[in-house]
Amino acid sequence: MKKLIFILFVALFGYKQMFAGKIKNLYAQKKSDVQVMDKGVVVKILSDDNIGSRHQKFILKLDSGITVMITHNIDLAKRINSLSIGDEVEFYGEYEYNSRGGVVHWTHHDPKKYHKNGWLKHNGVTYQ
């Protein structure tokens, strides 16, 4: 039993390590349209974008020092109402390069199934 728990721990740890630093590398290479998973601390909460599909927007600082803007479609998924500066948010979505660090979108389900389903996690709650 201990051996199985150890194997599962290593598998999970290795999986998370696979994503660590990925955004920093994508930023350096100016790459876009890549699925990413990471976490960061909220450094700025922006006004919602209410033109077309509505999006909740905020900026996270990642452990790598890179900042990314999260654009979370609140017409397709619930918004994070209790979000505050200093909160940690985990995410899985599609990365788009820009000179400020990048944007992560598709942090929700895709009803047309063109994109992989993404998510946000905040205070133990998953938003997708």
| Domains of the chain by residue range | 2-127
Predicted confidence at residue 94, as pLDDT, reads: 97
Run of H or E residues at 26: helix 22-29
What pTM, to 2 d.p., does this model score?
0.82
Q: What three-state secondary structure class fits 24?
A: helix
Is residue 115 scored above 80 in pLDDT? yes
Is residue 51 scored above 50 in pLDDT? yes
Fold of domain 2-127: OB fold (Dihydrolipoamide Acetyltransferase, E2P) (2.40.50)
34-47 pLDDT, tens digit per residue, is: 999 999 999 999 99
**Nearest CA-CA partner of 87 in 125, 36, 37:** 125
Mean pLDDT of 77-103: 96
- List b or e across 20-42, with b for residues whose CB sees 16 or more CB atoms inside 10 angstroms: eebbbebbeeeeeeeebbbebeb
Mean pLDDT of 20-45: 93
Is residue 14 scored above 60 in pLDDT? no
Run of H or E residues at 22: helix 22-29
Is residue 3 scored above 60 in pLDDT? no
